[in-house]
Chains A and B, each alone.
Chain A
Amino acid sequence: MKRLAAKLLSLAAALGLAVALTAQPIDFTHWHNPSQVDGILTNFVATHPSLCALSTIGTSIEGRPIQALKISNAPAVNDPAKGDVVIMATHHAREWMSTETALYIAEQLLTRYSSDPQIQADVNHLQIWIIPVVNPDGFAYTQTINRFWRKNRRNNGDGTFGVDLNRNYGYQWGLNSGSSPNTWDDTYRGTGPFSEPETAAIRDFLQARTNLKTILTYHSYSELFLRPWSYTTADPPGEPTLAALAQRSIAAIQAVHGITYNENIWYTSSGETTDFTWGTMRVSGFTPEVRPSPTGAGGFDPPTSEIVPNIEENFAAARALIHDAGARELWIRDYPGDTGAEPSAVWTGSGWSHPFWTSPDIWTVPATLDQGATVTLNVHINNNAGSARTNVRVDAYWTDPRISLEFPNPDAHLIASQTGLTVPPGGLTITMPWTVPVGTNSWGERHWCVGAIVMHASDLPLTTQAERSSNVAIHNFNTTATVTATNLIVAATNFLDVDAELATTVDTALIPAGWHVVLGNPPKTKSRSGLATSIGRKGGLLNAKGPLLAPGETIYLPIHVQPPTSAKAGDAITVSVHAALLPLLPGKRTPVGNGYTYKVVIPPK
C-alpha cells in the first residue's frame, strides 16, 4: 500500500500535478540529505507563505546555492525597524546535527506561531533568518565520499582540497593559534580573510542587516555553549553581558533533558564567526557545539536517537535568545522622547539622530555633582511586559566616556549591582549611592558617563551599545569643581588634527538675579579666515566664539563672576561652561566638545 502511495505521488509530481500541501511534521528520526533539506525549506514556504520566504544569499565554490529562510510576519518586506536574528549551521560539512537543529528551530517557529503568543510576538517583531547549510559543497561531499569531511571544496591547487570556513572570517584572521596555514590541514584558514565565497556571502549578508541583534552558529560536537573570544583566552569587551546570555542558554538547555553544556573549549581558534560579529559589529554571537557529549557515542556521526533530544533542548536556548531580540519588556530611555525602539538613535553621517547619552531615567540627587561628594544615583526601569517582573538585576557603572561608551566595558567602575528586584507594570526607580569621581577624564575634562543595564531572564541585552539595546542606557554628567575665587580660567586644547574654531558658552539659566558672568577675551587669539572673536548673548547662553586653535594648541579662557553688592564671602553660584571645537573643514562642521561646571564661592575679603 505504501509503495502504491509513493508511486502515485511520484507520478503526480512527474505529471506536474498540484499536490495538496499540508504542514507535515518533519521526521527527525533520521538525517536529512541535501535534497531533503532543500525539500523541507521549499515545503516551509509552500505551507507557511505568509510567514516565510526563501532566498539565495550566495553561491558556494562549486556553484551550489546558500539558502536562507526568512521567518517574519511580512516575509516579503525588508523592515529595518525589526531586529534581525541569524541562525546558521553546517559551516563544517560533517556536523549534520547542526543542520537538524536549524531545521527544527524553523519548524517550531512556523508551526507554533498561531498557538504560542510569545513566538507570535517575537516573529512579528523580528526577521529571523535560518541558514541550515553554510557549506553546501562539503555537506554534499559527506553524503557519498567522506562522512567526516570538514572543510569546503576549494581546489587549493597543490593536490589538496578545502578551506575551514570557520577559520576564514576576517576578525583576527591568520593567527597560528587556532588556524593552520597548511592547505592539507583540516583547520586550513585559506589564503586570506573571506577568501571563500561561502564566508564572503555570510559576511555580506550579515553586514546588510541594519538591525542585527544576535547570531547563533551551530556546530557539533561536545555539548558546549561558546561565546567570543575564540582567538584568545582573554575576556572580550562586554564579557558579563555575553556570559549572562550563555549561562541563561545553558540553563535553558539543561531544563529540557538534564544535559549540562560547558562554557569552555580550552583552545583558541582564529578567523571564527562569532569573533567577527562581536569584534566588528558588537553583535553577540554564540556557537553551540551540540550533541553528542565528548564521551558519547559517535562523535560527528552519533546515533540518530540523539537527534530529537538534541534539537528539543537547543530550541529552548534559541527561543530565549530570539525573545531577547524581540522583547522590550524592561527598558530604560536613552533620551527624553525614546519609546524603547531599537536602535534608539542612528548615525546620519554628520551626527546622531537622537542624543542617546542623555537618558532621563538616570539622574542624581542633588543634580550638581561636586567632586568627591556622595550623591544618590537614581535609575528608573520601565516595564512594558504588562505584569510585574521579578528577580530583575540592574548594574550601574561610571566610566570615562573618552575611553568607552559601552556597558559593561573593562574600564568601567561598578557603582552598584542590585539583584532580586521586582519591577511592577508602572516601572521602578532604584537608588544607590555614588561617590562622584575626583579629577578629570583622559582628555582633561570633568566629564563622566554613567551607564545602567537592566537584565531579566526573559529579556537580556544582546549588545553593550546603549543606542542598540533598550536594556542599556547612559547619561553623561559634568562634575563640579569648587572654586573659591571669582575669576576662572578654563583651558581649551584642540585635540583634532585640523585647525578648529573654539565656541564657548555659559548657561545663563543657572545665574541668579543680580549676579553677572562675563566671558573675557582669550589672552592669545588668532584671527583667520575672517573669523573674529566675539562675545554676545543668544537665547539662554553667553557665547564667545572665534578664536582659532591649531592642532594641539591650548588657549586659556578667562571667566569673570561678578556677584551682587549684597553678596558676602561664602555665597556661591553654579557656572556651567561648555566649549566646542568646530573643525575648520569645508561643508557642514560637526562640533565636538565638552563642558565643565563650577561651584564659584566668593572668597573672604
Chain B
Amino acid sequence: MPNAMKWNSAAVLLTSLLALAGCVHQGRHRPSLGPAVNLEPNDPRPVFSIAVSDDAEAALIRQRLGFEPLRIDGQTLYFHDTPGIREKLAEHGYTPARQSPYSVYQRIVRVEKRGADQELAHFDVTLINRESAYWVVRGSIGALRALSAAGYRLSQLGPDEPRPRQVRIYAPSLADVQRINALFVDIYSVTREGREGKDQRGIIVTGGAFDGQIDDLVKEGFRVETVNAPKKGDRP
C-alpha cells in the first residue's frame, strides 16, 4: 500500500473515532437530532438578483432568455452568474444586483428546542412545525448560521419531513374556504357541519397544514382541530 494511502486510511480512522467519541459524549447529555446540516452555499457561482413585478414577468424572462432562475421570491428573481446573462438582462432594461449567497440559499432544518417559540423571533427564520424535541424551521443559511452561533443545535430533516398535520378547520361559511386556501393549506375536502336544515351550522374543511399555518389560521379566527395524523408507513 503506498504511504499516502496509509496516511489517508489513518486519517479516516482517526476522524471516525473522534466522531464516535463526539456522538457518545452528546448522547450522554443531549440526544442526537440527526445528521449535521451543510450551511455552505449550494453552488460556488456568484448570485445576482433582479426585480420583477410578478411570476408572469419572471416566466417571460425565463422563456425569452432561456435560463433557469435559482429562485423567485415574491418580486425578486435570483440567478447564478453565467457568461453573458447579466448583459442580456441589462439589454432588456434590468439592473442585476449582486447578492450574498448566505441570504439567498435556504434550508429547512431541525432546530433543537430551547425555550418558547418566541426565541426564534430573534432570528430571521420561519417556523414550519414544532415537534417534541425540536422545531422545523426555514431560513437562509446566513440566518441558520446565526442560530447555530447562538448555541442552537441544527440537523437535517428526518426522512419524509416536514409532514403536515391532518386538521379540521371550522369556518362560518363557504366564503371562508378561499381564505383558508390563501394560507396554502392543502384542502382535502369541504363539508357542511351538521345536517341540512335547521341545525346547519358552518363548514368543516379537512386538510393538511403545518404548525405555522395552523398558527396563522388561529390568528385569522378559525377553530382548528388536529386529527391523529397518519404516521410514516401507515397502512390501512
A interface residue numbers (CB < 8 A to B) = 144-150, 157-160, 170, 173-178, 180-187, 191-193, 221-222, 233, 265-269, 294-295, 298-301, 303
Interchain CB contact under 8 A, A173 and B177: no
Interchain CB contact under 8 A, A191 and B191: no
Which of chain A's residues has its CB closest to B156's CB?
A159
Assess A191 versus B236: contact at CB under 8 Å? Given A173-B55, A184-B108. no
Assess A267 versus B177: contact at CB under 8 Å? Given A145-B160, A174-B55. yes
Interface residues of B in 23-54 (CB under 8 A from A): 37, 42, 54
Interchain CB contact under 8 A, B180 and A145: no
Could you name 10 residue pairs across A and B whose Cβ atoms are closer than 8 Å?
Answer: A147-B234, A158-B108, A159-B37, A160-B157, A174-B58, A186-B164, A192-B59, A233-B178, A266-B190, A294-B190
Which of chain A's residues has its CB closest to B56's CB?
A174
Give the CA-CA distance A193 to B128 in the complex, in Å. 25
Give the CA-CA distance A175 to B181 in the complex, in Å. 12
B174 at the interface (CB under 8 A from A): yes
The 10 closest A-B pairs by CB, nearest first: A174-B55, A294-B189, A186-B186, A267-B181, A180-B184, A266-B177, A159-B108, A294-B191, A222-B189, A185-B184
Interchain CB contact under 8 A, A294 and B206: yes
Collect the chain B residues with CB atoms within 8 Å of residue A176's CB.
182
Collect the chain B residues with CB atoms within 8 Å of residue A183's CB.
108
Assess A187 versus B72: contact at CB under 8 Å? Given A174-B54, A174-B56. no
Give the CA-CA distance A101 to B64 in the complex, in Å. 40
Contact of A145 among B54, B108, B232 (CB under 8 A): B232
Give the CA-CA distance A265 to B187 in the complex, in Å. 10
Interchain CB contact under 8 A, A145 and B159: yes
Interchain CB contact under 8 A, A268 and B162: no
Interchain CB contact under 8 A, A181 and B62: no
B111 at the interface (CB under 8 A from A): no
Give the CA-CA distance A301 to B233 in the complex, in Å. 13
Interface residues of B in 61-108 (CB under 8 A from A): 62, 68-69, 71-74, 105-108
Collect the chain A residues with CB atoms within 8 Å of residue B182's CB.
176-177
Assess A265 versus B69: contact at CB under 8 Å? Given A145-B232, A159-B108, A160-B108. no
Chain B min CB distance to A170 (Å) = 8
Interchain CB contact under 8 A, A299 and B189: yes
Which of chain A's residues has its CB closest to B43's CB?
A157
Interchain CB contact under 8 A, B177 and A192: no
Interchain CB contact under 8 A, B162 and A187: no
Interchain CB contact under 8 A, A186 and B160: no
B235 at the interface (CB under 8 A from A): yes
Interchain CB contact under 8 A, B69 and A192: yes
Give the CA-CA distance A185 to B136 in the complex, in Å. 13
Assess A147 versus B230: contact at CB under 8 Å? Given A193-B59, A222-B189, A265-B190. yes
Interchain CB contact under 8 A, A268 and B189: no
A interface footprint on B174-203 (CB within 8 Å = 1, 0 otherwise): 100110111010111111000000000000
B interface residue numbers (CB < 8 A to A) = 37, 42, 54-56, 58-59, 62, 68-69, 71-74, 105-109, 128, 138, 156-157, 159-160, 162-164, 174, 177-178, 180-182, 184, 186-191, 206, 208, 210, 230, 232-236
Interchain CB contact under 8 A, B187 and A267: yes
- With A182-B138, A294-B190, A298-B236 known, 20 other A-B pairs at CB within 8 A are A148-B208, A148-B234, A157-B42, A158-B105, A158-B138, A159-B107, A159-B157, A174-B56, A178-B181, A184-B128, A186-B186, A186-B208, A187-B184, A191-B68, A266-B174, A266-B177, A266-B190, A267-B178, A294-B189, A299-B189
Chain B min CB distance to A335 (Å) = 37
Which of chain A's residues has its CB closest to B174's CB?
A266
Which of chain A's residues has its CB closest to B203's CB?
A266
Which of chain B's residues has its CB closest to A301's CB?
B236
Interchain CB contact under 8 A, A191 and B72: yes
Chain A min CB distance to B155 (Å) = 10
Chain A min CB distance to B72 (Å) = 7
Collect the chain A residues with CB atoms within 8 Å of residue B160's CB.
145-146, 149
Which of chain A's residues has its CB closest to B110's CB?
A159
Which of chain B's residues has its CB closest to A164's CB?
B186
Collect the chain A residues with CB atoms within 8 Å of residue B189's CB.
221-222, 294-295, 299
Chain A min CB distance to B208 (Å) = 6
Q: Which of A150, A157, A158, A303 has the most CB of B within 10 A?
A: A158
Which of chain B's residues has its CB closest to A233's CB?
B178
Interchain CB contact under 8 A, B69 and A185: no
Give the CA-CA distance A187 to B184 in the complex, in Å. 7
Collect the chain B residues with CB atoms within 8 Å of residue A299's CB.
188-189, 206
Interchain CB contact under 8 A, B186 and A146: no
Chain A min CB distance to B39 (Å) = 12
Which of chain A's residues has its CB closest to B227's CB?
A299
Give the CA-CA distance A299 to B207 in the complex, in Å. 10
Collect the chain A residues with CB atoms within 8 Å of residue B235's CB.
147
Interchain CB contact under 8 A, A181 and B59: no
Chain A min CB distance to B140 (Å) = 10
Give the CA-CA distance A181 to B183 in the complex, in Å. 11
Which of chain B's residues has its CB closest to A269's CB?
B181
Chain A min CB distance to B205 (Å) = 9
Give the CA-CA distance A173 to B180 in the complex, in Å. 20
Collect the chain B residues with CB atoms within 8 Å of residue A147's CB.
230, 233-236
Which of chain B's residues has its CB closest to A195's CB?
B68
Give the CA-CA distance A176 to B73 in the complex, in Å. 12
Collect the chain B residues with CB atoms within 8 Å of residue A170's CB.
59
Which of chain B's residues has its CB closest to A31's CB?
B236
Give the CA-CA distance A266 to B191 in the complex, in Å. 10
Assess A295 versus B191: contact at CB under 8 Å? Given A147-B234, A181-B73. yes
Give the CA-CA distance A332 to B236 in the complex, in Å. 53
Give the CA-CA distance A144 to B105 in the complex, in Å. 31
Assess A221 versus B188: contact at CB under 8 Å? Given A173-B59, A193-B59. yes
Collect the chain A residues with CB atoms within 8 Å of residue B56's CB.
174
Interchain CB contact under 8 A, A158 and B106: yes
Interchain CB contact under 8 A, B178 and A268: yes
Collect the chain A residues with CB atoms within 8 Å of residue B105's CB.
158
Give the CA-CA distance A32 to B186 in the complex, in Å. 25
Which of chain A's residues has its CB closest to B58's CB?
A192
Chain A min CB distance to B33 (Å) = 13
